[in-house]
Structure 1
Amino acid sequence: MTIDQMRLSYTLAGLSEADLAADPFTQFLRWFADAGADDKPEWLEINAMTLATSDPSGRVTSRIVLLKGIEAERFVFFTNYLSEKGRQMEANPQVSLCFLWPHLQRQVRIVGTVTKTSREASVSYFASRPRGSRLSANVSSQSDVVPDRAVLERSLADWDTRYEGRDDIPCPEHWGGYAVDPSEIEFWQGRESRLHDRMVYRRAASTWNLVRLAP
């Protein structure tokens, strides 16, 4: 089969206005729970999301990051502030997130503004991470060029030795959380003949307006 011949028919479900909650966060949590039901594929990380950022010139980059919470109606994730995405978000806080749950033929797209979480929140979450992840955060100058993998592995081994038998691995100053405050959240349900359902919540002052978009 060639690439142009690859296609699936979307026939699992439809989506109507009557199906949706009054606010997008309640609706998101419903779909998130559906995505994590017992019959989901074992390999699927339902909190994986594409984060799209851009620099002042308009150059766009994207990558997968993990959602780590929804707090005060904001979507929270953690990363290296000095990475390419960190530098781009510092220069241009307008971002987009996208969740894909292929087993449900669903997608959620989020547009919003990103800000850093508090240092306290970053340190608290960092302390909950596995030991290896905490060590790696101190080792990696994310997005910098390195000569080979051996350099990273030696640095990790050095940090592991330094903190052998200890749990007080520090949270780097350049590592922490971001929170996306959404202005638009779209719920997409795949439908037969590509006549998909697209329902969008758009922020209007203190409320949300719900509209349907053509597929």
Structure 2
Amino acid sequence: QFLYFIGTLHARQMPLPDDIKPGDVMHAKADEPSPLEGVAAASHDPFALFSEWFAIAQRSELNDPNAMAISTVSPEGRPSVRMVLLKEHSPKGFTFFTNYESRKGGELLGTKWASLCFHWKTLGRQVRVEGRAVPVSSEAGDAYWVTRGRESQLGAWASQQSRELPSRQVFLDRIAELEAKYPPGTPIPRPPYWSGFTVVPDRIEFWVSLPARWHDRVVFQRTVDGSGNAADEFACGEWSTTRLYP
């Protein structure tokens, strides 16, 4: 069994990892059961199902299996979307890190709603998440900050994200100034405007690509009390499952 990747000039094939079954890959045969078979008819944990799919994606996707599109909306209702990287997932939600003074940071702090989309083309699978976005604790922000490379830390300080930049050189000059301020071996503190968000979902949809576009979709939904200030402070109801038309 092989995966086929279309390049600029030609297709190339790569062997499937030993633990990836043919049915895990896109374009499953019509007579093969969907990976979502039976999910809507039983009580399932969407976080466990996501963990299962994410583990497969980590072994099969060539580039950034943790990449996700995140959509935010302005107070006027104008949407915007961009790609970010998932850094943690648990029954509390889906966590990523960013500049709070960026457009997405400002919109998340303002409206407190977000939607996420993971699309793994190799697998022919997709997961959509909707829910409340809440800032992570300072301790969580600090813990992740120290795992970042020195260059990434300098970049976070140098970038006035989403604001007008007169020239590329201005940005490079800011980095040079910071390199002088924080010589190699000197700890670089976390900027006060840089940390993370956790999206606490009330809706998670799993999608599988099937032949003839007879795709399979199952959505998990629950109620979430939005009065909490942290991901573990929300009162969440039980999950219900529904199968949707393609």
Q: Which amino acid aligns with 1:159?
A: L
- Structure-1-length-normalised TM-score: 0.90
Amino acid at match of 1:31: W
Q: Deviations over 1:126-178 (max 9, x none)?
A: 01100000010000010000111100011111111221123310100000010
Question: 1:16 pairs with 21, 36, 39, which one?
Answer: 36
- 1:63: which partner in 2? 82
Which runs of at least 4 in structure 1 moved beyond 4 Å after TM superposition? none
> What residue ranges of structure 1 are gaps of 5+ in the alignment?
1-9
Alignment size in residue pairs: 203
Whether 2:180 is the aligned partner of 1:180: answer: no
- Specify the alignment match of 1:189 in structure 2: 208
Matched position secondary structure for 1:128: coil
Q: CA deviation at 1:34?
A: 0.9
Higher helix share: 1
Where 1:103 maps in the other structure, the secondary structure is coil
Shift of 1:206: 2.8
Task: Return the alpha-carbon distance in structure 1 between the equivalents of residues 81 and 106 of structure 2.
Answer: 13
* Aligned residue identity for 2:103: E
1:149 to 163, 168, 192: 168
Asked which structure has the greater RCO (Cα within 8 Å, sep 6+), the reply is: 1
Pairing 1:27-176 to 2, within 5 Å after superposition? 27-37=49-59, 40-42=60-62, 44-176=63-195
After TM superposition, the score normalised by the length of structure 2 is 0.79
Across the aligned residues of Structure 1 and Structure 2, the Cα RMSD in angstroms comes to 1.5
**How far, CA to CA, are the matches of 1:90 and 1:19 in structure 2?**
35
Q: What is the percentage of aligned positions where both structures have the same residue?
A: 39
AA partner of residue 238 (structure 2): T
Matched to 2:183, the amino acid is E
Q: Is the 8 A contact 1:25 1:73 kept in 2?
A: no
Output the amino acid matched with 1:175.
W
